[in-house]
C-alpha cells in the first residue's frame, strides 16, 4: 500500500459531516450550499437525462459546455479562449487538479503551495512523484510573502498552485500579488495551476482576477473552474480546465486515463447554466454576501471574531481567547458535541497540521440554518 493514501485519515470534511450527523449538530463544516441550486439548471439536467444521450460523450467534453466555458471567460474576464483547443471538461475540479499534477510534474519537481491549502493538493502532488513546498500566509491579512517565495524557488521548482478566491480564508488575490507571481513564473520558467472554483463568489464590488489574464504568462497557466460552486451543486462534479493547447494536451491525456469523461446530462445542464444572464451570477453573489454578514453578526454576538471575507463561502475565526487550549480540532469536536454546531479546524489545511489557530465556517446556508447555528453558539458561550 502506498503510504500517501495508506496512512491518510478520512478527510476532515467527511469526518466533520459524520460527526454532525451523529450529534445532530448544524453543519457549517464541510463546504456545501443549502437551498441555492438554481431551479432552471436542475430542470436542464432533468430534461437532458430524459432526452439523452446516455453514452460516453467526447473525452474533451460536450462542445456546448466547452463553448460555454470559453464564452464565460470572454464575458467575465474579456479573455479569448479557443474552445476546441483550450478547454477540457473534467469530473470536478478535483479531477482537473489531479490531471494537471499528473501531466505536468515529473519525479523530484518542486511545487510551491500556499498554506492554508485545499486538502487535495499536496497528497496528489506527492503521488505524482513531485515535492510540495508549502509557503505559509499569515493572518490577519494573509498577504503573499514575497521574499519567502523568492527564497523557496530552486532549480527544481516547476510549478506553483494558487487558489483565488481562496478556501479556507476567503482571500482574493490582488493584482499586485498576481503580478509578483507572474514575474517569478517568467524569471524561473514556472507554470501555475490556478484553482478558481470560487471565481463567481467575490463580494463588495470586487472583481475576480486571474493569472490567465496576464498576457506574458497566459501560456503558463492552467485555469480550473467548477460547476459545483458556480451553481451550488457540489455533488455534480463537473469541472473545467482552460489552458494553452501545449499544456492542455498532456492534461487531456491524463484525463483520458483517470475518468475519461463526465456524465453528459450534467454537462448539458452546466452549459445551460453558464449561459444564464448576469442577473443569476450577481444574485448569487448578493445572496452570499448577505449570509456572510448574517454569520459575522451572529458570530460576534456569540463572542467569536470573524475575519474579513472577500470571496468564497467560508469565513474563519481565531480560537484565541475562546477557551480552546490552542487545539482547533479538539475545539471543533467540542463545538459539535457541546454547542451543536460543526465547523472545520484550519490545521487540516496545513501539511504539518501544526497551525491550530483558526476554525472555518461555511455560510452558504439558509437564513434559518444560520440563525439556528448562531443561537446555539450564543447559548453555549
Chain residues that interact with ligand GLN, rule: CB under 6 A: 11, 13, 30-31, 167
How far is 253 from 103, CA to CA, in rounded Å? 8
State the nearest-atom distance from the C-beta of 3 to ligand PMP, in Å: 24
How far is 96 from 61, CA to CA, in rounded Å? 13
DSSP state of 315: E
DSSP state of 341: E
Which region, left, alpha or beta, applies to residue 217 given φ > 0 means left and ψ of -120 to 50 means alpha?
alpha
Residues 6+ apart with CB under 8 A from 37: 231, 232, 233
Q: Which does 266 bind (CB under 5 to 8 A by kind): ligand PMP, ligand GLN, none?
A: none
State the nearest-atom distance from the C-beta of 280 to ligand PMP, in Å: 19
262 binds ligand PMP (CB under 6 A): no
Residue 210's φ and ψ, nearest 5 degrees, are -140, 150
DSSP 3-state assignment of 202?
A: strand
Tell me which residue has cell 447554466: 273
- Which 12-41 residues touch ligand PMP, going by CB under 6 A? 31
Tell me which residue has cell 487540516: 348
Residues 6+ apart with CB under 8 A from 282: none
Q: Residue 72 or residue 348: which is nearer to ligand GLN going by CB? A: 348
Q: Which residues pair with 75 in a beta bridge?
A: none
- x/- map, 124-163, ligand PMP, by CB under 6 A: ---------------------------------------x
Q: Which does 30 bind (CB under 5 to 8 A by kind): ligand PMP, ligand GLN, none?
A: ligand GLN
- SS3 labels along 179-201: HHHHHHHHHHCCEEEEECCCCCC
DSSP 3-state assignment of 367?
A: helix
Contact 294, 367 (CB under 8 A): yes
Q: Which does 11 bind (CB under 5 to 8 A by kind): ligand GLN, ligand PMP, none?
A: ligand GLN
How far is 330 from 322, CA to CA, in rounded Å? 12
- x/- map, 165-184, ligand PMP, by CB under 6 A: --x-----------------
State the nearest-atom distance from the C-beta of 135 to ligand PMP, in Å: 17
347 binds ligand PMP (CB under 6 A): no
Q: Which does 77 bind (CB under 5 to 8 A by kind): ligand PMP, ligand GLN, none?
A: none
Tell me which of 61, 239, 296, 311 binds ligand PMP, using CB under 6 A.
239
Q: Identify which range of 21-29, 39-47, 154-162, 232-240 contacts ligand PMP by CB under 6 A.
A: 232-240
DSSP 3-state assignment of 33?
A: coil
Tell me which of 38, 170, 228, 318 binds ligand PMP, using CB under 6 A.
228
Neighbours of 207 (CB within 10 A): 9
Q: Residue 66 or residue 376: which is nearer to ligand PMP going by CB? A: 66
How far is 198 from 311, CA to CA, in rounded Å? 7
**What is the CA 192 to chain-centroid distance, rounded?**
15
Neighbours of 354 (CB within 10 A): 7
Q: Which does 72 bind (CB under 5 to 8 A by kind): ligand PMP, ligand GLN, none?
A: none
DSSP state of 91: S
Q: Which does 228 bind (CB under 5 to 8 A by kind): ligand GLN, ligand PMP, none?
A: ligand PMP
Q: Which residues pair with 134 in a beta bridge?
A: 113
Q: Identify which range of 79-87, 92-100, 122-130, 182-190 contacts ligand PMP by CB under 6 A.
A: 92-100
Q: Which does 335 bind (CB under 5 to 8 A by kind): ligand GLN, ligand PMP, none?
A: none
Contact 270, 227 (CB under 8 A): yes
Q: Which does 209 bind (CB under 5 to 8 A by kind): ligand GLN, ligand PMP, none?
A: none
- Which 184-203 residues touch ligand PMP, going by CB under 6 A? 195, 197
State the nearest-atom distance from the C-beta of 200 to ligand GLN, in Å: 15
Contact 29, 346 (CB under 8 A): no
State the nearest-atom distance from the C-beta of 92 to ligand PMP, in Å: 3
Q: Residue 237 or residue 358: which is nearer to ligand PMP going by CB? A: 237
Q: Which residues bind ligand PMP (CB under 6 A)?
A: 31, 92-94, 118, 163, 167, 195, 197, 226, 228, 234, 237, 239
Amino acid at each position: 500500500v502506498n503510504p500517501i493514501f495508506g496512512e491518510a485519515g478520512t478527510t476532515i470534511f467527511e469526518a466533520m459531516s459524520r460527526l454532525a450527523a451523529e450529534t445532530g449538530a448544524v453543519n457549517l463544516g464541510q463546504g456545501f450550499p443549502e437551498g441555492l441550486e438554481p431551479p432552471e439548471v436542475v430542470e436542464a439536467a432533468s430534461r437532458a437525462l430524459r432526452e439523452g444521450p446516455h453514452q460516453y460523450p467526447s473525452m474533451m467534453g460536450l462542445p456546448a459546455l466547452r463553448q460555454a466555458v470559453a464564452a464565460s471567460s470572454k464575458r467575465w474576464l474579456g479573455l479569448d479562449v479557443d474552445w476546441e483547443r483550450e478547454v477540457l471538461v473534467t469530473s470536478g475540479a478535483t479531477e482537473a487538479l489531479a490531471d494537471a499534477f499528473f501531466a505536468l510534474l515529473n519525479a523530484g519537481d518542486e511545487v510551491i503551495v500556499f498554506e492554508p491549502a485545499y486538502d487535495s493538493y499536496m497528497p496528489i502532488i506527492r503521488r505524482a512523484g513531485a515535492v510540495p513546498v508549502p509557503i505559509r500566509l499569515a493572518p490577519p491579512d494573509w498577504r503573499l510573502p514575497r521574499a519567502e517565495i523568492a527564497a523557496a524557488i530552486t532549480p527544481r521548482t516547476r510549478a506553483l498552485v494558487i487558489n483565488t478566491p481562496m478556501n479556507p480564508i476567503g482571500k482574493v488575490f490582488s493584482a499586485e500579488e498576481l503580478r509578483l507571481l507572474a514575474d517569478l513564473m517568467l524569471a524561473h520558467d514556472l507554470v501555475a495551476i490556478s484553482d478558481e472554483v470560487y471565481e463567481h463568489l467575490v463580494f463588495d464590488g470586487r472583481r475576480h482576477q486571474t493569472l490567465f489574464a496576464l498576457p506574458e504568462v497566459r501560456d503558463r497557466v492552467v485555469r480550473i473552474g467548477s460547476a459545483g460552486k458556480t451553481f451550488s451543486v457540489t455533488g455534480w462534479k463537473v469541472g473545467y480546465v482552460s489552458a494553452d493547447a501545449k499544456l492542455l494536451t498532456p492534461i487531456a491525456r491524463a484525463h483520458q486515463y483517470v475518468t475519461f469523461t463526465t456524465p453528459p446530462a450534467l454537462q448539458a445542464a452546466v452549459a445551460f447554466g453558464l449561459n444564464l444572464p448576469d442577473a443569476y451570477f450577481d444574485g448569487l453573489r448578493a445572496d452570499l454576501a448577505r449570509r456572510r454578514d448574517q454569520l459575522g453578526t451572529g458570530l460576534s454576538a456569540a463572542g467569536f471574531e470573524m475575519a474579513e471575507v472577500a470571496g468564497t463561502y467560508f469565513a474563519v475565526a481565531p480560537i484565541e481567547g475562546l477557551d480552546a487550549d490552542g487545539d482547533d480540532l479538539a475545539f471543533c469536536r467540542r463545538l459539535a458535541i457541546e454547542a451543536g454546531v460543526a465547523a472545520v479546524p484550519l490545521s487540516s489545511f496545513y501539511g504539518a497540521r501544526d497551525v491550530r489557530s483558526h476554525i472555518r465556517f461555511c455560510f452558504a446556508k439558509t437564513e434559518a440554518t444560520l440563525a439556528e447555528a448562531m443561537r446555539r453558539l450564543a447559548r453555549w458561550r
